[in-house]
Structure 1
Amino acid sequence: MRLGVLDVGSNTVHLLVVDAHPGARPLPAHSHKAELRLAELLDDSGAISAKGVTRLVSVIKDVLQAAEDKGVEEVLPFATSAVREAANADAVLETVREQTGIELSVVTGDEEARLTFLAARRWFGWSAGKLRVLDIGGGSLEIAHGLDEIPDAAASLPLGAGRLTAGWLPDPVPDPEEVRALRRHVRAEIARTVGDFARLGAPDHTVATSKTFKQLARITGNPRVLTLDALREWVPKLAAMTPAQRAALPGVSASRAPQLLAGALVAEAALELFEAAEAELCPWALREGVILRRLDHLPTV
């Protein structure tokens, strides 16, 4: 069957269309993205602005048309941190339902970590042993660890690259003290979770998903593995660059370039505090996890 996953994230609204059936690897058939940056469309009360809601509805309508054009049989719609943390989340969801017919399912941070872990486990297979999976989104950082398809521990922290950039690094080229302050904040937040994961023992593989990790791996010269040593070299370089200069780096898009420094600080802190010399990149993440969970509930005959 042809499935479409509608992901309303902090940075983008993304439709991923796959051809899939139980027991088989989902095959990508189409991808439709729209930059929305919901996390930047909040008013002073923390609510998504009227303009933001109008844009969200318009984008979802366009995405649904794309899904229809591609012959999608079922759309799996969900929203992550930007919507779930908005002060007017219920009203936004109701407006989307009334104007598009779509019932957005709000994924909790814990669910986000667990579904991303499921995708990584299926990608690497059982022989990979214990996995520790890290995912940096626009609004949050997800961490999960375990041996099976359901992680033994999972956490979601408010350390997304977009959120931190908006709140801590307002200038295109931040002041060094702003960078140091953000570095301290990120490390303090992650350090609170280290003990919970340390009790589970060291992983056999540290795995990284998400666009932020992929871009960092590309600029450090190895698209499959991000090493801590290489990341340490690049963090001060990124801090001294303008967004336009970052966008000129290999694999870095202009839309995400402003967020790359904050993402690098989170990635560096996570690898150091979890004592990982490197992270292996996984092309599957939350969207694939949603697809795999849906397929697991389909009849096999």
Structure 2
Amino acid sequence: MTRVAAVDCGTNTIRLLVADIVRDGPDGAVRLRPLHRSSSIVRLGQGVDRTGRFDAEALERTLAVVREYAATCTALQVPLDAAHARFVATSATRDAENRDEFVAGVHDALGILPEVVTGQEEARLSFAGSLLGAGGGAVAGDEDGEAAGGGALSSPRLVVDLGGGSTELVLGVAAPQSAYSMNTGSVRITERHLADGVTPAADAAARAEVRALLDRAADAVDLGAAARLVGLAGTISTVTAHALGLESFDREAIDGAELSVERVLAACDAIVHSTAAQRESWGYLLPGRRDVIAAGALVWSEVVARVVADTTAAGHPLTMTVTSLSDILDGIAVSLAPAGEAA
């Protein structure tokens, strides 16, 4: 058994997972036994799309949480070295000219260097993480562990990790076959188009941008080949909670939830056109996500609509989506499995 710590630092949110990596069960699969999960909305990518630099206050907000994570890792007896801890930074950090300040700050606080991963590596880790949970198509875990393989996977699945600054699309069966990272997400679309609200003109401009990016993605990933559409991350879990009519965030209800395309698109439309008062009343929507959730729902609706169109053209129209709460964070954790144990 190996105890590890994984940190996923995105454009909007930073998260920590401390887990034990074990190999057990009749299938002999590598599994994660989660011990602690933390999530904080820090908006590290605030203004990066416009300025190309990290804002000083956003940087300090993020590093303050990193220092908290370091204390948690120490309390849970995770060795803070490269063999047991991995810090992955994604879209905003890729774009920021002053990323060296961030890298140095993380190293000082946590003792390890953050990895500024490419969109392709982000996609690979997201796909690996998606296989671990109830919606992954692998062996479903229970409260004692989450499976990292062993399920009967036979049809291509399209995994979509919709973040604040980028959206990864990965097609594969048990491993990625093709992937594309779109330079769009809830924070980026908000700052570019919806900062002053969802007007008809802003809505049209945002959708036109996302559709153009999907055209490029379709050149790299055969969206029409998807037999299963799996959505990851905060925006999609929020859309799912809305579609399910939840009063608060319910991990058990959301993870693995299968929804009809019509239900997903209706929830997206309701969120895109929601009022501030409505968003404040939704117990499953964190305050730090309220101002960007409309943009996130818009991006998800465009992805779903495009996949439906392409699978229909291919003769097997997609009718359902599935939400997975196992995502890139879980993929980072399992990537720390000792040699010979990686999933």
- Common fold, TM-score beyond 0.5? yes
Structure 1: unaligned runs, 5 residues or longer: none
Give, in angstroms, the shift of residue 21 of structure 1. Answer: 2.3
Structure having the higher helix fraction is 1
Please identify runs of 4+ aligned residues in structure 1 that moved more than 6 A.
none
CA 1:272–1:117: 2 relative to 1, 3 Å? same
Q: Tell whether the 8 Å contact from 1:9 to 1:138 is kept in structure 2 after alignment.
A: yes
Match of 2:335 in 1: 293
CA 1:228–1:52: 2 relative to 1, 3 Å? same
Range with bigger deviation, 95-104 or 205-214: 95-104
Please point out which of 125, 130, 137 is paired with 1:124: 137
Structure 2: unaligned runs, 5 residues or longer: 24-28, 139-150, 246-253, 309-317
Please point out which of 144, 160, 176 is paired with 1:134: 160
Provide the secondary structure at the position in 1 that maps to 2:287. coil
Provide the secondary structure at the position in 2 that maps to 1:38. coil
Match of 1:18 in 2: 19
Match of 1:212 in 2: 235
1:238-259, CA deviations, whole angstroms, 9 ceiling, x for partnerless residues? 2332234123235222221222
CA 1:138–1:226: 2 relative to 1, 3 Å? farther
Distance 2:164 2:50 in 1: 19
Distance 2:327 2:50 in 1: 32
Q: Tell whether the 8 Å contact from 1:128 to 1:204 is kept in structure 2 after alignment.
A: no
Range with bigger deviation, 203-212 or 20-29: 20-29
1:193 aligns with 2:217: yes
Distance 2:17 2:35 in 1: 8
Provide the secondary structure at the position in 2 that maps to 1:25. strand
1:183-217, CA deviations, whole angstroms, 9 ceiling, x for partnerless residues? 1111111122224323x862231111112111111
Provide the secondary structure at the position in 2 that maps to 1:132. strand
CA 1:25–1:65: 2 relative to 1, 3 Å? same
Provide the secondary structure at the position in 2 that maps to 1:65. helix
Distance 1:137 1:43 in 2: 14
Give, in angstroms, the shift of residue 291 of structure 1. Answer: 1.6
Q: Tell whether the 8 Å contact from 1:41 to 1:52 is kept in structure 2 after alignment.
A: no
Distance 1:266 1:296 in 2: 37
1:126-167, CA deviations, whole angstroms, 9 ceiling, x for partnerless residues? 423221111101111110001232x11001111111221122
1:255 aligns with 2:255: no
- What is the aligned-residue identity percentage? 27
1:155 aligns with 2:180: yes
Q: TM-score, normalised by structure 2?
A: 0.79
CA 1:100–1:218: 2 relative to 1, 3 Å? closer
1:68-88, CA deviations, whole angstroms, 9 ceiling, x for partnerless residues? 112223321121111121111
Provide the secondary structure at the position in 1 that maps to 2:335. helix
Distance 1:131 1:174 in 2: 32
Provide the secondary structure at the position in 1 that maps to 2:51. coil
Provide the secondary structure at the position in 2 that maps to 1:124. coil
Provide the secondary structure at the position in 2 that maps to 1:251. coil
Distance 1:153 1:161 in 2: 23
The total of aligned residue pairs comes to 297
Distance 2:212 2:43 in 1: 26
1:105 aligns with 2:115: yes
Provide the secondary structure at the position in 2 that maps to 1:3. strand
Match of 2:7 in 1: 6
AA in 2 matched with 1:3 = V
AA in 2 matched with 1:69 = A
Match of 2:143 in 1: none
AA in 2 matched with 1:156 = S
Give, in angstroms, the shift of residue 261 of structure 1. Answer: 1.3
Match of 1:175 in 2: 199
Give, in angstroms, the shift of residue 19 of structure 1. Answer: 1.8
Distance 2:53 2:199 in 1: 29
Match of 2:144 in 1: none
Please point out which of 91, 94, 98 is paired with 1:84: 94
Provide the secondary structure at the position in 1 that maps to 2:92. helix
1:217-264, CA deviations, whole angstroms, 9 ceiling, x for partnerless residues? 111128402432123323443233223412323522222122221111
Q: Please give the root-mean-square deviation of Cα atoms over the aligned residues, in Å.
A: 2.3
Q: Tell whether the 8 Å contact from 2:46 to 2:55 is kept in structure 1 after alignment.
A: no
1:144 aligns with 2:155: no
Q: Tell whether the 8 Å contact from 2:157 to 2:171 is kept in structure 1 after alignment.
A: yes
